[in-house]
Structure 1
Amino acid sequence: MMTKPGFTILIVDDHAHNLFTLRTLIERHLQEVRVLEARSGQEAIDLTLSHPDIDLIILDIQMPEMDGFQTARLFKLRKRTRNIPIIFLTAAFKSEEFQRQGFAVGAVDYLLKPIEDTLLINKISGYFRLIEKERTLNRTLELKVAERTRELLEARQYLENIIDHMGEALLVLDPEGRIKLTNPAACRMLGYRESDLIGMSIGDIFEEEGDEQAGAFMGLWLEALIRTGALSKIEARFIASDGRRVPILFSRTAIKDAEGRITDIICIAKDMTGYTRIDGD
């Protein structure tokens, strides 16, 4: 006796005797398999709506009102049931043309009555093994996805913790010089809330030494960053929300895509308030 726990079969036939015979055969050879019965195509459709865990459908073709082919087409049209394997059983539709029609509407098997008991049970067991392999694979993939998601979340939290606690101001700009990310140190240094800084132009909060450079530095930055990928530290000033000039030591690094286009500009500023500049001879 074979044991296939955790599966549900829907058997569909308009004759009660055929349903009884099929149920008895399945329950005799396959333990812990739940068997649902339907006497018509419409009843089968209704059962699939209330039982989303059906694994296999055994479907008679010759039924009144809605035959097996029509019922199978409806199963395949519905997202909930389109992937459930269907085994056709028939005593009347034996020609190759009907068999081709059965496979065309989505059947995985087309068996002719009278059916040998061992053949049918082996067929059912074979599909159960395939379903169990797919379940095992899905569980493995779900575990891997969950583990990867956890790792990515931990890595993100780790990086966010570093950014939040770093002493230097961090500003990430788009290629047009608009602020797209910042950190608490930058907010404290500039006197802005994070939501206020996001979207601002770097030119609104930054100035370099020399009036001739003011207003043109973004273009100069991009040209230099395209050539070198990074610019060394320079002395400059942040313009705080209250108009104060905050002396800073400022550096910029470009992040480029595979085609070499700049996607982000990372700016790091150290507050130099209280430091004394010593010029060399």
Structure 2
Amino acid sequence: MSHHAGFKLLIVDDHAHNLFTLRTLIERHLDCAVLEASSGQQALDLTHEHADIDLIILDVQMPEMDGFETASMLKLRKRTRDIPIIFLTAAFKSEAFQQRGFAVGAVDYLLKPIDDDLLINKIGTYFRLIEKERGLNRQLEQQVAERTRELAEARQYLENILTYMGEALLVLAPDGTIKFTNPAARHMLGYEETALRGMAIGDVFEEEADEQAGAFMGTWLEALIRTGALSKIEARFIASDGRRVPILFSRTAVRNTRGEISDIICIAKNMSGYVRVDPDAPAPAPGQARQPS
């Protein structure tokens, strides 16, 4: 006996004797579950009750709803449209009728009286094809799941870096609108994330010797467009309470596939408490501390 355990086959014929013969033949050669329907309507009902039917053997000559009509109904339903159908017929032997069967979704067409070996070989072939397709689908699902897991791990890794890095990180749109900030930036500025998102960088930033914060989008942006990055500069953040927080600031442009700037990455180090040494200033007298500038 061929090993096709787990497969489910529906046989449809309005003659009880034909159903018994088919069932006996199939169960003798194939290890699969067999369902029986004696009408087209009963076949539709069984496919509704059993969502795991793999193959249908469908007699063409049936009263009320023939095989063609039954197949058409099965192909209209989402859950049954992909089930392979093998037509059986004793009367409709012309090519025109066979083409009609293929037109309504049949994958094969066998004539009565049935050649037992041919029928069993056909069923076994379709079971093997279904099994191969399912194996490929499982393999694809495993690959997708593995890739999804890798992406999730990579995303978590990057989120951890952004969350725990000591420097403030701000991602801006090309017009200077804040798109993203990390916790260090929000802590330094004293804002919640939702409050910062959408603000202009000029609202929280000013460069030394620039009284107008709008200079952020001035000359430096032209240089950024030319070079892609600017060296670190000394500047100040304007915190939510108005405090000026001294920072060491760098800016980098990110370009899309068209070469256009899509984002501006800004990284700032809090310089509060650091002493800036003027190389031209006289050295302090012994015991005298240098004053911060």
Q: The TM-score by the shorter chain falls in which range?
A: over 0.9
Say if 2:12 is the partner of 1:12: yes
Partner of 1:57, secondary structure, is strand
Secondary structure of the residue aligned to 1:270 is: strand
Q: What are the equivalent positions in structure 2 for 1:1-281 lying under 5 Å apart?
A: 1-31=1-31, 33-211=32-210, 214-281=213-280
Give yes or no for contact 2:234–2:248 (8 Å, CA) kept in 1.
Answer: yes
Distance 2:136 2:87 in 1: 27
8 A contact 2:9–2:55 mirrored in 1: yes
The secondary structure found in structure 2 opposite 1:4 is coil
Measure how far apart 1:72 and its partner are.
1.1
| Aligned twin of 2:290 | none
| Structure exhibiting the larger radius of gyration computed from Cα positions | 2
**Size of the alignment, in residue pairs?**
280
The CA RMSD over aligned residues, in Å, is 1.4
Identity %: 78
SS class of match (1:2): coil
Residue identity matched to 1:13: D
TM-score (norm 2): 0.92
1:213-243 deviations in Å (ceiling 9; x for gaps):
5314225444322211111111111110101
Structure 1 CA distance, aligned partners of 2:275 and 2:247? 12
Structure 1 gap ranges (5+): none
**Could you tell me which amino acid in structure 2 is paired with residue 205 of structure 1?**
V
TM-superposition CA deviations, 1:1-47 (whole Å, max 9, x none): 2121110111111111111111111111001x111111111211121
TM-aligned CA deviation for residue 148 of structure 1: 1.1
Cα separation, 1, equivalents of 2:248 and 2:83? 65
Q: Secondary structure in 2 aligned to 1:37?
A: strand
1:107-142 per-residue CA deviation (whole Å, 9 max, x = no partner) reads 110111111100000000000000110111111111
* TM-score between the two structures when normalised by the length of structure 1: 0.95
CA change 1:172–1:98 in 2 (3 A) is same
Alignment partner of 2:3: what SS?
strand
- Give the 3-state SS of the residue equivalent to 1:6 in structure 2: coil
Cα distance 1:96–1:184, how it changes in 2: closer, same or farther (>3 A)?
same
Runs (4+) of structure 1 exceeding 4 A deviation are none
Q: 2:203·2:213 contact (CA, 8 Å) conserved in 1?
A: no
Partner Cα separation in structure 2 for residue 26 and residue 44 of structure 1: 18
Q: How far apart, CA to CA, are the structure 1 residues paired with 2:129 and 2:221?
A: 57
| C-alpha displacement of 1:253 | 1.0
